[in-house]
Amino acid sequence: MTLARDLAHPYPTVRVDDDAQEAARLLVRDRLPALLVLDQVECPYAIVPAAQLLGALVPEPDRLDPLLTLIADRLDDGARETLSGRSVADWLPRHRVTPGLVGPEDSPSEVAALMARKDCPVVAVIERDGGAVTLLGAITADVLLEHFIGGL
């Protein structure tokens, strides 16, 4: 029987106090579907889909009125400045996306259900030992789909 530990792979992480521009570069360089953010004690703090992070770069007036985006393309000019000097915690959406966490013994069906509930393409696999949490890896939607339907 396949368990979450069998599907988990190493996944790049950033910390809440890391530089937001470097985190954005990691997303782009590794073509990550989401950013896995750890707190100061290396515990999963947030998993944020790349599309939500991209939304944080769009000026608020443009998010509220898409016509403004057609009139003035501010994103091209301002994206780098928006991230400059900010931490990952500053870049995260106002309503933090709590991470989807599963244990190593959870089934693929449990992982899929959590992923669907969270509407996030990544879940973290953690092991708890008393109060300590160890990140074992992450499961991405493509790995889970391959498990259920097989490879190409």
pLDDT top residue among 121 and 60: 121
Over the stretch 94-119, which tens digit does the pLDDT of each residue have? 777 789 999 999 999 999 999 999 99
Over the stretch 48-69, which tens digit does the pLDDT of each residue have? 888 888 776 766 665 555 655 5
- What long-range pairs does 127-135 form, CB within 8 A, spacing at least 24? 127/103, 128/103, 133/43, 133/44, 135/13, 135/38, 135/42, 135/43, 135/44
Q: How would residue 72 be classed by pLDDT, with cut points 50, 70 and 90? A: low
Contact 78, 130 (CB under 8 A): no
**Signed CA dihedral, 30, 32, 35, 39: sign only:** negative
